[in-house]
Amino acid sequence: MNTPVEGFSRLSKAEKIDWIATNFTKNPEESRQLLQQYWNTDGKVQKLHDEFIENTVSNYYLPFAVAPNFLINDRFYAIPMTIEESSVVAAASKAAKFWLNRGGFKTTVLGTEKIGQVHFIFNGDFNKLQDFFSKIKPDFFSDASSITKSMEKRGGGIKDIELRDLSDKVKGYHQLHCTFETLDAMGANFINSCLEQFAQTLKEKANSYPDFTQKEREIEVVMSILSNYVPKCLVRAEVSCPIGALNEDDISPTEFAQKIVRAVEIAKAEPHRAVTHNKGIMNGIDAVILATGNDFRAIEAGVHAYAAKDGSYSSLTHASIEDDIFKFWIEVPLALGTVGGLTSLHPLVKLALEILQNPKAEELMQIVAVAGLAQNFAALRSLVTTGIQKGHMKMHLLNMLNQMGASESEKLQLVQYFKTHTVTNASVKEALEKIQSE
């Protein structure tokens, strides 16, 4: 029990399951059955999933939903969302419907530049390094030509390579700071392959550069890797309408608009609130990122760094009232792909992209930004009016009833009952016990 295992990856799937169930679970037979129950009955689909990652023993399902009625740049979209949290899809759909009659969402891609860096140590004369870099710069491009050829044919490739001196931060630390255009690919493999080639060119050329001393020739490459911080791979999404069109129950349009603007001001000023505010935005963004097979960890890391770009963590969305026009917008960095990676492998990802009419990466950036903005609008709309719990607990009701083991007919009765009663954990428990005892 709990002893290290040799060669786990080489065990068959059945053997892996057996080992994990026997050694780490209370009821090995039940665990075995559970893991197998989540296998896909189509062997081909299962094999595909087995091979996405290593040591696969089962599948982990998340709901795949659709939020309809998004009007973006005068075109209709139904947005696929993959997420476990109740209320998120309902909130997105509600926000989409709200803005449908108020002109919809308008979006603009502000840039598509991706970044990668070769981090290296050079101990010597920086002026000499600069001369060396200027002389060999064309070699970086030509040495990488076999990697960049097909990307260049499609209009992408390496945009620039810059030498940066960061030796004030870490002794001898310098960088090749490189920018790329990767079109519809997220581009991680392309960028990393280019960077590793740049690193090789850098070392080789330095080694035989006559103006360097022996010490200067010995450039140490620490690492070559893309950056997930992409502040120039940026998209903006916006909604706006005359204040009078913001008709809500129990609150005047002006007060509603002012409360939203103030809620955004608070998220701009105060990091605790900003984090939660942005978390709500990521509810929408991550759900579309996951459904479309993109890398949500990369997006999360880059987005939060962007939220802190001015020195303190702040809101990703903005709101204003000018000349009686309410405006609400987001600017967010999103390095996305609609080709490569999971996009052509995962059957549901393919379907999600088809539902979105097979967008180019730039179009997907716009759709994802809209999902984030819609989510934030829906959250703020509830927060500054009824509060979040009313809607949230209603949506969460089925989860609670499932957890409490309610039957289908009990669920039907209680969903009906709670249309006019407040949902809390205690009230649901009490109502369920009451009908069970009747």
Between CA 206 and CA 38 the distance in angstroms is 55
Site map (CB under 6 A) of ligand MEV, residues 380-399, x = contact: ---x----x-----------
Q: Is 419 a catalytic residue?
A: no
Residue ranges in 257-276 that form contacts with ligand MEV under rule CB under 6 A: 276
Q: Report the residue number, 57 or 282, with the smaller CB distance to ligand MEV.
A: 282
Total of residues contacting ligand MEV (CB under 6 A) = 9
Nearest-5° angle of CA 206, CA 207, CA 210? 75
Does position 277 bind ligand MEV by CB under 6 A?
yes
Cα torsion at 96, 97, 98, 103 (round to 10°)?
Answer: 80
Q: Output the CA torsion sign for 37, 41, 44, 49.
A: negative
Strand 325-333 and strand 234-242: pairing? antiparallel
Q: Which of 279, 350, 360, 411 is catalytic?
A: 279
How far from 150 is each of 95, 153, 158, 296, CA to CA, in Å? 41, 5, 12, 27
Min dist CB 91 to ligand MEV, Å, is: 8
State yes or no: is 324 an active-site residue.
no
H runs (alpha helix) in 384-424: 388-403, 408-417
Nearest to 65 by CA among 90, 96, 48: 90
For the question of residue 153 being annotated catalytic, the response is no
CB 271 within 8 A of CB 314: yes
What part of residues 75-134 is at the interface with ligand MEV (CB under 6 A)? Answer: 85
Q: How far is the CB of 239 from ligand MEV (least distance, A)?
A: 16
| CB-nearest residue to ligand MEV | 280
The active-site residue out of 18, 49, 85, 204 is: 85
Residue 257 or 384 having the CB closest to ligand MEV:
384
Kindly tell me which of 156 and 284 has the beta carbon lying closer to ligand MEV.
284
| Of 228, 112, 126, residue with least CA distance to 175 | 126
CB of 270 to ligand MEV, least distance (A): 13
**Min dist. Cβ of residue 57 to ligand MEV (A):** 30
Q: Which CB, 50 or 331, lies closer to ligand MEV?
A: 331
**Which x/- pattern, by CB under 6 A, does the window 278-317 give for ligand MEV?**
-xx--x----------------------------------
Specify the residue, 212 or 326, whose C-beta has the smaller distance to ligand MEV.
326
Considering beta carbons, is residue 221 or 282 the nearer one to ligand MEV? Answer: 282
Nearest 10 degrees: Cα torsion 32, 33, 34, 36: 90
Query: Strands (DSSP E) along 96-244, which ranges?
Result: 106-109, 114-121, 157-165, 173-181, 220-227, 234-242
Beta carbon of residue 319, minimum distance to ligand MEV (angstroms, whole number)? 13
CA nearest to 391, candidates 91, 98, 92: 91
Active site residue 85: yes
Among 118, 123, 117, which Cα is nearest to 219's? Answer: 123
Q: Catalytic residue positions?
A: 85, 279, 295, 392
Binding residues for ligand MEV (CB under 6 A): 85, 276-277, 279-280, 283, 379, 383, 388
